[in-house]
Amino acid sequence: MIMQKKNKSLPVVFGVLCIYLLSYACARIFIFQAVERYAGAEGKGAPRQDYIAKKDQPAGEGWEYQLFLPVIKAEESIVNYFNNL
């Protein structure tokens, strides 16, 4: 009986995760933009750092940013890893 309950909740969790990621993809296209930041003079400072922000606002502003914060941080870390190789 307990095992059946776990099996029923797995598709629900997977569905919610898929909807969350799909809604982030839509928000990424229409609401958010990538911003590049360089710490120092070209070639002499720290490596490039990209971050995601709402259009025309600093990073961290708005409820949309807070809603998608885990996915934004994951995307930023993946992009920064490949940019700093």
**What is the reported pTM?**
0.68
Locate 70 and state its tokens.
Answer: 């885990």
Expressed as residue numbers, the domain containing 22 is 2-83
**Tens-digit pLDDT profile for residues 33-78:** 877 666 666 656 666 666 677 777 777 788 888 888 899 889 888 8
Task: Indicate the number of domains in the chain.
Answer: 1
Say which residue, 84 or 36, is predicted with more confidence: 84
What would the pLDDT profile of 5-22 be if each residue is shown by its tens digit?
557 788 889 999 999 999
